[in-house]
Amino acid sequence: MDAPEQPQIYLITPPEIDLDSFSDRLARVLDGAEIACIRLALSSSDEDHVARAADACREVAHSRDIALVISDHLLLAQRLGLDGVHLTDAARSVRAARKELGPDAIVGCHCGVSRHDGMTAGEAGADYIAFGPVAERALGDGSVAGQDLFQWWSEMIEVPVVAEGGLTEELVRALAPHTDFFGIGDEIWTAEDPLTKLTALCHAMG
């Protein structure tokens, strides 16, 4: 993913999705907002379920010319014709994923709050680096990717950066000058109307 002039939305699926209804919910969001990329980020380890979810999401995404990547499943990304992978082990798998998927695939990497991991992943060939969470979460370890990390990254490093994890309108407003993408998932899917919630977050970008 190339760095845009102003932040774009990188949509993250919920960890669990209802295959019967999620395609329609996803389509409504994609038709109502400008989305740069979608990440299939399921908590399930059932390969058949993940594959069926990927097929459903790919159909919705690709019919609208939007890229779909999957968290960590290199083999499924290849087998199901997805656009790449989002790695969650900091920088450890980037080089292998790039070699396996080739130069045209999207290879992204979540690096928590670590500048060092981010730089290592970028040097290994990652297309983007994700930092987060940007706000404390009940189940987290208390570490937060602060505004200073994104400010430093945007000034010093050319690899596009994603801010994700606990985004609010206030945080979106503060981080908009320093990030290329906002990774938005639970922030909208837990709302009754995901598109309305996403629209409010988009307005906060200014």
Q: What local confidence, expressed as pLDDT, does residue 206 receive?
A: 80
Q: What local confidence, expressed as pLDDT, does residue 136 receive?
A: 86
Looking at the domain assignment, is residue 104 inside a domain? yes
Can you give the residue range of the structural domain that contains 176? 8-203
What CATH number is attached to the domain comprising 83?
3.20.20.70
Looking at the domain assignment, is residue 86 inside a domain? yes
Whether 138 has a pLDDT exceeding 70, the answer reads no
Quick one: three-class SS letters along 137-190? CCCCCCCCCCHHHHHHHHHHCCCCEEEECCCCHHHHHHHHHHCCEEEECHHHHC
pLDDT tens column, 103-135: 999 999 999 999 999 999 999 999 999 999 999
| CA–CA gap between residue 41 and residue 111 (Å, rounded) | 16
What's the number of domains the chain is made of? 1
Q: What is the pTM of this model?
A: 0.96
Smallest Cα–Cα separation from 70: which of 141, 59, 81?
Answer: 81
Looking at the domain assignment, is residue 1 inside a domain? no
- DSSP, collapsed to helix, strand or coil, labels residue 70 as strand
pLDDT tens column, 1-43: 887 789 999 999 999 999 999 999 999 999 999 999 999 999 9
Q: What local confidence, expressed as pLDDT, does residue 139 receive?
A: 66
Stretch 42-57: mean pLDDT, rounded?
A: 95
Looking at the domain assignment, is residue 95 inside a domain? yes
Looking at the domain assignment, is residue 164 inside a domain? yes
